[in-house]
Structure 1
Amino acid sequence: MRKTVPTLLTMLLIVSGCSGQTGNVSNTQAEKEVVDSKPVTLKLYNYGALNEEMYQRLFVEPVKKKYPHITLEKIERAKVPPEQIAVNGLELDIITGWGSLLDQFADHKLLADMTPVIKKHNIDLNRIDTANLEGVKLQSGTISPGGLYALPFGYNFYALFYNKNIFDKFGVAYPPDGMTWDDAVALGRKLTRNVDGIQYKGLDPEGVEKVSNSLSLPYVDPVTMKASLNNDGWKKVFQLLKTINDIPGNEFKITNHSGTVNRFMKDKNVAMLAAPEVLNSLVNLDFDWDLAEYPFFQERPHTSGMLQTFVLQLGSNSKQPDAAMQVIQLALSDEVQMTLSKSGNMLSVLKDQTIQKSFGMEHPLLKNKHIEAILKTKAAPYVIQTRFTTKTRNILELKYRDFAEGKKDVNTALREAQEEAEAYIASEKKN
């Protein structure tokens, strides 16, 4: 419980806050008192969202500049999967990953509740985007009610990527911002043609998961822990996807994200790709392209996919929690978050509009591109992920294929998905 009588330090901090100095949270006197400057090496576990350039620019370089006594040692998930960390007795100080994976790390007893060190280091949570912070709080609550097992660092974005060459070839105007899914489907029909033996596809929505994210549909109810598939929301998603798939010549297969991007990037016969996190996969492009606002459902205007927040977590067995928090504070500073935003790798989690509007300014692929399209949408609210979510999603996607191929009507497909998912969850609960 917070003390009722403020210390002199607290009073000074309050006065400082009132004077308008609200920028970098890493420069507080409180931080200097709780962290010493003895040389220390911290192990940072990268689940996979940080590529080497991001790791260097957003962590190594800022830490070396501001805290030369701290050395970072990166450990990659590809070499040490989460389930092997505890088995091998590996000490971790900072863990990076997606907020939806908190349960996975918690199951292996790898996470510490950050609430005490957040208070100790005087971290101002009010600077962080409310939706991202609330999403992390929701997922943290599945570990321990009232706990906070991560802090948001950045989050994903959705956009409609389009091949301008195909639009030009067919004399069709480029896609505008503000399209509903119905608008995008209508435009996709105009661009789906077979010319000179090449089948051009007008619209690729990637698949069930990405489209449903805009509606924040849970696969499993986080309260009852029962499947939540046989309902009007999933019916809407199934019917939309089948409408797109049934455009003659526009058939698409549900593959992983890389497969979808390759259809756009390498096959070069997809006019519009509606998807998240495409930028880091686009390489060696030899055609003209741009982006527009992600299509939305009529009832959720200017809403893209569900929040997928990249987070920083404190390792439960860290022997240097204060030094680790020093690094996390720096990662949330205005300076580092501005670097993140300009890089275009992900959106900043800070509310600061100057930082938000700087998104993508230094990304080579976004030069002269319509970056504003990304900033026009808001992410759909986060839905708690459960340990049954992945398998339940796989069950649902297989039933969608049956529906798309005409093997089952939509009602039968969803009813069977519900039944199979419920049987799976019941079986898992017994084990």
Structure 2
Amino acid sequence: MKKKGIRRGSIVAPLMLALVLSACGGGQQAAAPEGSAPQGSAPQEGTQLKVPSEPVPITVYSNNKMTEEAFNKQYGDAIRSKFPNVKLTFTSDVLKDTIAAKVPIDIMFGSIGTFFTHLYDFELQYDLSELAKSRGYSFDKLEPTMVDLQRKLGGGKLYGLPVWTATSGLFYNKDLFDKFGQPYPKDGMTWEELASLSKAMTRVEGGIQYYGYVTSPGAQMSTNQLGLDPVDPKTMKANLTAEPWKQFMQNIVDVYKAAGLTYTKDELDIAKSRNFFEKESRAAMYTNFTGGTPLETMNWDVVQVPSLPNAPGVGPQPYPNYWYVASISKQKETAFDIIAFLTSEQFQIPHNKAGYATVLKDPEIKKQYGQDMPKFQGKNVSAMFPKKSSAPMNYTPFANDAQVEFQNAFLSHMLGEKDLNTALRDAAEQLDKKIREKTK
């Protein structure tokens, strides 16, 4: 199961794992709302699915350590309703142990960050193109960036279909803005405007330090609005010293420095920054890129992630949850039919209303996001869906390493240890070193 010189077991999940998850509330699993899944019905128009008339065993594997109860609420009940003769089994045990036990995995699913470690690294990928063609499956209703992203991962092949995706947004504490008499953030802001607003909201009052804005620079890197590659997919060399990356980092630095603070390492810690916003109500604004939303107890709202000067109106890259037919499955047609059903309007619309963001591109459906969830009532939910998402970057097995080094460069610069050029050069050198170690 080796992959072109990359040691088996050495690949770290390539996107937003420990670093991003700590910054964004545990990623998709933590962001998932309560509530029952929609019951199954007809697939999207034009797709010819076959509902088995005889019992068919299907084993579904979760890459994200999902519980069976959560699986049934979100997916299992709807699948069984649509495919009553499918004998569904669910597991999320350690994958290598599951394979060693010869469990007949038919379907796998998880966030994009599990593509290499749970699919490609175990050679479980299977091109869905012929199955989609034979079923008359249309990709037209899907958000195109999510399909393009999967094709990039597969080198042109399509190994998975998106079933739900993370949202992104600039979240803000309305009570703090009211307290300090400042106008709320608005849709269509630029990062320069965010810097000015952050400066106005940063202050010490009653002996308490308030921060205008906090974020996870590493998360911003991994969903960057310019589609920049941190690692060149052809040479497998770090790209972090390229001028566009320097400009991108400078943009984040400028927002922080506009506040006029001299930061400590603790103040720049990702988990603590998030706590400043959610738990301590000391940060006025926070960008989230993996679907998490503030607590119900906070008086919050959300606007679009601000635009970069060289990408006006372009939002962050998508962070989808994909479903795959496993190469070892003996029930590939039924497995595909189940996945196709999960991308249908009949499943997606109520699923989206329950707080799992739709992968369909219809703006009217997106407006219904979280409609059945009390915490979303009265919120500007459409802001969490970019009108135009950035083209996806080229993912490599070293994207998570790149994220860590980008974050380290930000910290060393903000703490006054290195100028920006040196910080990014050192980050690139460390990233290249990690790549060499993992490809020996």
TM-score range, shorter chain: 0.7 to 0.9
Aligned match of 2:419: 409
2:91 to 70, 75, 96: 75
If you compute each CA radius of gyration, which structure gives the higher value, 1 or 2? 1
Higher RCO (Cα < 8 Å, 6 or more apart):
2
- Bigger mean CA deviation after superposition, 324-333 or 55-64: 55-64
Which AA in structure 2 matches 1:255?
I
1:164 corresponds to which residue? 174
Task: Give the equivalent residue in structure 2 for 1:421.
Answer: 431
Note closer, same or farther for the CA distance 1:176–1:353 as it changes in structure 2 (3 Å cut): closer
SS at match of 2:162: strand
2:123 to 101, 105, 109: 109
Counterpart CA distance in 2 for 1:93 and 1:176 is: 45
Matched, 1:61 2:72: no
1:31 equivalent in alignment to 2:49: yes
CA displacement at 1:421 relative to structure 2: 2.1
Match of 1:121 among 135, 139, 147: 135
CA RMSD of superposed structures (Å):
2.5
Match of 2:149 among 110, 132, 135: 135
Contact 1:97/1:312, CA 8 A, preserved across alignment: yes
Deviation at 1:83, TM superposition (A): 4.0
Following superposition, the deviation at residue 57 of structure 1 comes to: 4.5
Q: In the TM superposition, what whole-angstrom CA distance separates every residue of 1:305-361 from its partner, at most 9, and x where no partner exists?
A: 212121110111112222212211210111111012212322x22233432332221
Contact 1:25–1:124 at 8 Å: present in 2 too?
no
Q: Which aligned pairs between 1:14-413 and structure 2 lie closer than 5 A?
A: 24-25=42-43, 30-32=48-50, 36-48=52-64, 55-76=71-92, 79-80=93-94, 82-104=95-117, 105-141=119-155, 146-210=156-220, 213-246=224-257, 247-249=259-261, 251=263, 252-255=267-270, 260-279=273-292, 282-283=294-295, 285-346=296-357, 348-375=358-385, 377-413=387-423
Q: Is the 8 A contact 2:168 2:305 kept in 1?
A: yes
Task: Show CA shifts across 1:124-165 (max 9, x none).
Answer: 222222221111111111xxxx42111122222211111111
Counterpart amino acid of residue 231 in structure 1: A
Contact 1:291 1:373 in 2 (8 A): yes
Please report the TM-score for the alignment, with normalisation by the length of structure 1.
0.84
Contact 1:192–1:250 (8 Å) recurs in 2: no
Structure 1 residue ranges without an equivalent (≥5): 1-22
Deviates more, 1:204-213 or 1:167-176: 204-213
In the alignment, the residues of structure 2 paired with residue 254 and residue 378 of structure 1 have an alpha-carbon distance, to the nearest angstrom, of 31
**Alpha-carbon distance change, 72 to 254 in structure 1, aligned in 2, over 3 angstroms:** farther
Compared with structure 1, are the counterparts of its residues 278 and 195 closer, same or farther at alpha carbon in structure 2 (3 Å cutoff)?
farther
Assess, with a 3 A threshold, how the Cα gap between structure 1 residues 249 and 416 changes in structure 2: closer, same or farther.
closer
Deviations 1:63-83 (Å, cap 9, x if unpaired)?
Answer: 22222112332222xx42x44
357-366 or 55-64: bigger deviation: 55-64
Find the counterpart in structure 2 of residue 19 from structure 1: none
Tell me how far apart the structure 1 counterparts of residues 70 and 192 of structure 2 sit (CA, whole Å). 37
Q: CA deviation at 1:171?
A: 0.7
The alignment partner of 1:303 has SS state of coil
Q: Distance in 2 between matches of 1:336 and 1:260?
A: 36
Partner Cα distance (2:282, 2:67) in 1 = 29
The verdict on how the C-alpha distance between 1:206 and 1:74 changes in structure 2, with shifts beyond 3 A counting, is same
TM-score by length of 2: 0.82
Q: Secondary structure at the match of 1:306?
A: coil
Work out the CA distance in 2 between the residues paired with 1:29 and 1:310: 21
In the comparison of the two structures, how many residue pairs are matched?
394
Unaligned runs of 5+ in 2: 1-40
